[in-house]
Amino acid sequence: MTNVATDKPIEKLLGRRQELLLTLRHLESEQTDVENNTDWLDHAAYVNRVALLDRLAEGYQTELQQVDKALDRVKANRYGECLACHAPIEEQRLEAAPEAEFCGSCQEMREGLLRV
């Protein structure tokens, strides 16, 4: 399903993947620095810093997985196809969220089900 209309979102995915990898490497370095620093005056500050870095890394790792799934769909020539109804995902949606797995209608339905 890759065509001119999806080239821009795919470029965004590849760029975002690089940003995520750099950010995760930076967070890993920060985590190492925090763990190797023995000069913490306040143990609670240390614990909070470690927890913050863990949450940040988890969020970025989740986003990286979503980007990788989208890139896998590109390789399988299924990028831009809704995983639920198999209809094309709206171009505007892919431009805004290139990792989108569902068309707008199916995403709304999923979110409605989650609220119940």
Residue 14, both tokens:
């590849």
Please state the domain count of the chain: 1
Q: Quote the pTM value.
A: 0.81
Residue 52, both tokens:
């913050």
Domain of 106: which CATH number?
Answer: 1.20.120.910
Could you tell me which of 74, 73, 105, 77 has the C-alpha nearest to residue 89?
Answer: 105
pLDDT value at 103 more than 70 = yes
Domain that holds residue 57: 4-115
Q: What is the pLDDT of residue 16?
A: 96
Which helix (H) or strand (E) segment is 41 a member of? none
Average pLDDT on 9-19 reads 94
CA atoms within 13 A on the CB side of 2: 13
